[in-house]
Chains A and B, each alone.
Chain A
Amino acid sequence: MNDSQIGSALREKIIFIIVIGLFAVLSFQLFKMQILDEPAYEVKSNENSVKKSIIDAPRGVFFDRNFKVIVSNKPSYTIEITPSEYNTELNPLLEKIFKLDKGYIQEVLYEKRRFSKYQPRRIKRDADIQSIAWLEENNGKFPGVKYIVEMQRDYSFGINGSHIFGYTKEISAEQLSLANDVYDIGDYIGSSGIEKTYEVYLRGRNGAQFVLVDSKQRTIGNYLEGTHNTKPIKGFDLILSIDAEAQKAAEEAFNGLKGALVAIEPSTGEVLAFVSAPDFNLSDFTSVTSQDIWTNLRIDEDKPLFNRATMSINPPGSTHKMLSALAALQEGIITTSDYINCSGGYQFGNRFFKCTHVHGKVNVITAIEKSCNTFFYQLILKTGFDKWAEYSSKFGFGSKTGIDISEESPGIQPNSEYYNRVYGQGKWTKGYIVSLGIGQGELSTTPVQLAKYVSLIANNGKTRTPHIVKGFIKSGTNEFTPIEYPEIEVKIDQENFDIVKEGMFKVVQGEGTARNIRIPGLNIAGKTGTAQNPHGKDHAQFIGFAPFENPRIAIAVMVENVGFGSTYAAPIAQKVIKAYLRINGNAAINQNIAAKELKENL
């Protein structure tokens, strides 16, 4: 056979020798390692192992605008058992100390019997400090039993704020694989609210400890005298613009109701109070969130997890009338000396659009004061659909406000382009837009959009993006670093703002629809509204600001399925305004009487 032929016998022999040679070398190495040198490796395996343990960094703390702590951290103790060292005869004693059901430890150990015996099993979360002290004292008597300290959120400061703060969750496998070095297994990560938005500031940096452990996980000492160890660095503290008093008042006022409230300082865009009701209990989320709690929250018909303040969209109703007025005034279409006669409604084509009652002779100011629909039905037609929509968009309707809570709806701002898309070119008539003039129809807004809108009116066209976090304090320093938010400006003449604001002033202080919330010594301006709800009772709305002369708080309130705005929504706004401006004592007039009086008038 020619040796240069493909696959000659010689070449086959050479490969055979290589295969056998490799096999022999590897076998010999295994024999040497596993049989001859086994004792040495055994010692190494049992002693000289470097183990890295993670020390969790505490998350940043939340302060309110007056530097009062509103969310903090507290230590929580978890008891673990490592089966390889543990003696089950201790079961009854431990169950007694840690207040566990009889036989519970056996059950846990049995359930996880297929896991490695070196893997610690958690038997108790949130153990009390006395039992930890006891365990510490009797350290040597309980081999395989130890406790670990974890930091938990502490919400015991009188504010629930579930939709502001949001919750943290244990990091998922996917999140972990995306974020290479920053997180460790078992870390908590912001999952909603500002915990999510400001995760980067809040999380801090975990510390690490390298220790020498034996095969039974007993610590022998620090690896290289601890030179590789790093200390955890606490996350940045956040200074919120929330006012604890106003927030507390707002949460109490919504007790038993569904709806939302957003209060803003008009000149800065700082959110003073923020409620979505019903809410949920954040402390349920701190340690293990049992599946039951989750399921219950998810299937609850009142949707407590749904952030109504930024996500629920409803027609703004009469609260939108100031916008129609501002658009017409600024475009020079009307002045205060233009009057119309309200005879209880408006005939357009073959359709009759109703007013709340017969108002007689009204101008723009009285139309706002008395909430006359007839006036505004006509006004949108005079202004023109797209001109009106342009002004409405300038005030932020139809787009997200950019508030620092990630879940937000843009709402709907109709214009002719939108109608062409929905109904088809030329398939809609002017009749479709008449009810938009009083804030009904397709126009849909969120409570936070309404709060931004009323801030713009209160502060004469200037504010900043609504925000909950004013700034942060870097860990280890006491320096406050403010966060800058973009300015928002709507160019409208001061005299036109003054006209609209006079109308709003009269809604509360004059003959208007919210007289029931007057407070002696304080001038409040506002506007009630009713969002038509095809699925049930209408939603009550109120927007307003105070003090009238120098607005410090602008507010939007929405209460679901209760009907008229002044009965429910306006009094809630009043309570929050009082709390924020620190006005003590009872309101001068009885709200119930005022509401009755008002209904009779209508």
Chain B
Amino acid sequence: MKINYDIKDKFDFIMFAAVLALFTFGLVAIYSATVTHPTAYGNFQKQLFFGGFGLVIFFFIYFLPSQLIRLSAVPMYVLSIFFLIAVLAVGKVISGSKSWFSIGPFGFQPSEFAKIGLILFLAYWLSDSKRDINSVKDIVLSLAIGLLPIFLIILEPDTGTAIVLFFITLVMIFWAGISLFGLFVVLSPGIVTFSSLFGTASLIITLIFVIIALVIFKRNLFTSATIFVVNLAASFFFDYGVRFLQPHQQKRISSFLDPNADPLGSGYNALQAKVAIGSGGIIGKGFLQGNQTQLKFIPEQWTDFIYCVVGEEFGFVGSIFILVMFLIIFLRLLRLTSHTKDTFSSLIVIGVLTLLLVHFGINIGMNVGLTPVIGLPLPFLSYGGSSLLANLVLMGIVFNIYRGKKHYQ
């Protein structure tokens, strides 16, 4: 057997450079948003510390024997469920959500940990050769694996992370080979309820599309009728459920639908973020020179609204640079899926890709006013230790898979 000495084949330098570029750009933006802030001025140093610590963990995981990752799948999932239950019992309430543990001076978010647990365990479960992803039993079970942590996270409540886990579950099941009809059955209730948010008219139109799809699939009448009733029930159940949402979440939904309604409330952030990005122009106003950022028009800008610091101070050029770095990461991940040595690894990579893609889409989407304000950080850029560490752990796992991949033919 020949030993491959080519280091390029063991470490994806391009993807690594993209991650580092995003982290560095994030640091610059955090500095700009917090340097004159009376309470958050220490966040730059803290983020730098977490980044350094995260990279150590990243390399540690990179060098682990790859069997260890498979072995850790079950314990990680069990542990993350345990943490999610524990945080509901003894967690700390921060801005209306019970999602934090305090460990000395640091906080820890079990929901970040749950992302890792879910991806590993779902990959482990779906890659088992005994599974038939088109049998009703296995579809239900794999959905249940995802819905358990989602349910616990909704109780916190942390809508953003619940959405991320939902997409991870969905895409991994899709990746595992579910049939188009199966996918339709799983997906349609979600689409119907989402459209019901925009009023009765859009709900009826979506339901008509469901009927058309059912006609195309040509299943028997009983099956088709059942699916339609499930769809209808889901939208009513959701409409009823909205009333149980926290007031700040209800507000967020309504401010998404009409951001100008309450310029001092939750729509205020979305509006100010758009103004910040739009006024950045082609090359931006310059480092520390963005008046929206420096005059602190956007509260807590260094977390979910970090992208508008980039948009305002570095303009279109800086904003597109961030998009391109993410695009590089996404395409490298997608390419890696077809070269992994087993299906378990392939499923993990697609899980990580989904996670980053959803964070990316929703976060930048809300910064530019395309999606509602859902509390989701931008990976590698937003300030926050738990999220940065979780992302670097996942990258460590991905790079470990890269190290053990098949050689290109």
User: Which residues on A are within 8 Å of B, measured CB to CB?
Assistant: 3-9, 11-12, 15-16, 18-19, 22-23, 25-27, 29-31, 33-35, 37-38, 40-42, 44-46, 49-51, 114-119, 173, 176-177, 185-186, 210, 215, 217, 228
Contact = CB atoms under 8 A, between A and B. Distances in A.
B379 interface: no
A19 B291 contact: no
Contact of B275 (A6, A45, A177, A185): A45
Contacts, number: 148
B145 interface: no
A26 B364 contact: yes
A115 to B, nearest CB: 5
B289 A117 contact: yes
Nearest to B127: A6
B330 interface: yes
Contacts of B126: 6
Given A7-B346, A7-B350, A118-B291, A44 B279 contact: yes
Contacts of B127: 6
A41 B275 contact: yes
13 contacts: A3-B177, A4-B134, A4-B178, A9-B338, A26-B365, A27-B323, A30-B320, A34-B280, A34-B319, A41-B277, A42-B279, A185-B39, A228-B264
A59 B178 CA distance: 68
Contact of B278 (A5, A41, A177, A228): A41
B368 A30 contact: yes
B350 A15 contact: yes
Contacts of B157: none
Nearest to A117: B289
A7 B338 contact: yes
A45 B279 contact: yes
Contact of A6 (B175, B276, B360, B364): B175
Given A5-B177, A27-B323, A41-B278, A185 B35 contact: no
A50 B271 CA distance: 12
Given A7-B343, A34-B319, A44 B364 contact: no
Contacts of B316: 30-31, 34-35
Interface in B317-332: 319-320, 323, 326-327, 330-331
B281 interface: yes
B319 A41 contact: no
B370 interface: yes
Interface string B295-334: 1010000000000000100011001100100110011001
A16 B334 contact: yes
A119 B36 contact: yes
A31 B337 CA distance: 32
A573 to B, nearest CB: 48
Nearest to A36: B278
B38 interface: yes
A50 B364 CA distance: 24
A243 B292 CA distance: 54
A263 B127 CA distance: 83
Contacts of A26: 323, 361, 364-365, 368, 370
B132 to A, nearest CB: 10
A23 B282 CA distance: 18
B331 A19 contact: yes
Nearest to A185: B38
A15 B338 CA distance: 13
Contact of A34 (B35, B281, B295, B360): B281
Nearest to B358: A22
A176 B37 CA distance: 13
A116 B177 contact: no
Of the listed residues A34, A118, A217, the one surrounded by the most CB atoms of chain B closer than 10 A to its CB is: A34
Contact of A37 (B276, B278, B282, B353): B278
Contact of B35 (A5, A114, A117): A114
B347 A19 contact: no
B263 interface: yes
A35 B337 contact: no
Of the listed residues B275, B294, B316, the one surrounded by the most CB atoms of chain A closer than 10 A to its CB is: B275
Contacts of B361: 22, 26
B347 to A, nearest CB: 7
B274 interface: yes
Given A3-B177, A26-B323, A115-B35, A12 B279 contact: no
B210 interface: no
Given A34-B316, A50-B264, A210-B264, A6 B291 contact: no
4 residue pairs, one from A and one from B, having the closest CB atoms: A41-B278, A116-B294, A45-B279, A4-B177
Interface string B253-278: 00000000001100000001011111
A6 B343 contact: yes
B188 to A, nearest CB: 17
Contacts of A44: 275, 278-279
A38 B175 contact: no
Contacts of B277: 30, 33-34, 41
Contacts of A45: 275-276, 278-279, 291-292
Interface in B166-222: 171, 174-179
B162 interface: no
A19 B330 contact: yes
Contacts of B338: 7, 9, 12
Interface string B359-383: 0110011001110000000000000
Interface in B114-170: 126-127, 133-134
B268 to A, nearest CB: 8
A19 B365 CA distance: 14
Contacts of A16: 331, 334
B357 interface: yes
B175 A7 contact: yes
Contacts of A6: 126-127, 175-177, 343, 346-347
B349 to A, nearest CB: 9
Of the listed residues B35, B278, B316, the one surrounded by the most CB atoms of chain A closer than 10 A to its CB is: B278
B304 to A, nearest CB: 16
A21 to B, nearest CB: 10
A38 B277 CA distance: 9
A472 B179 CA distance: 75
A8 B337 contact: no
B38 A12 contact: no
B337 A12 contact: yes
Given A4-B133, A12-B334, 17 more contacts: A6-B346, A15-B334, A19-B331, A23-B327, A26-B361, A26-B365, A26-B368, A29-B369, A30-B368, A33-B278, A34-B281, A35-B281, A35-B282, A49-B295, A118-B291, A173-B39, A185-B38
B20 interface: no
A19 B323 contact: no
Contact of B177 (A8, A22, A50, A51): A8
Given A116-B288, A117-B289, A215-B291, A23 B323 contact: yes
A25 B278 contact: no
A35 B334 CA distance: 31
Contacts of B177: 3-6, 8, 11
A38 B279 CA distance: 5
A118 B275 contact: no
A27 B317 CA distance: 11
Nearest to A31: B316
Contacts of B327: 19, 23
B356 to A, nearest CB: 10
Nearest to B132: A4
A45 B278 CA distance: 9
A250 B354 CA distance: 75
Contacts of A115: 35-36, 288
B96 to A, nearest CB: 11
Contacts of B331: 16, 19
Of the listed residues A6, A7, A9, the one surrounded by the most CB atoms of chain B closer than 10 A to its CB is: A6
A115 B297 CA distance: 16
Contacts of B315: 34
Interface in B63-113: none
Of the listed residues B291, B311, B370, the one surrounded by the most CB atoms of chain A closer than 10 A to its CB is: B291
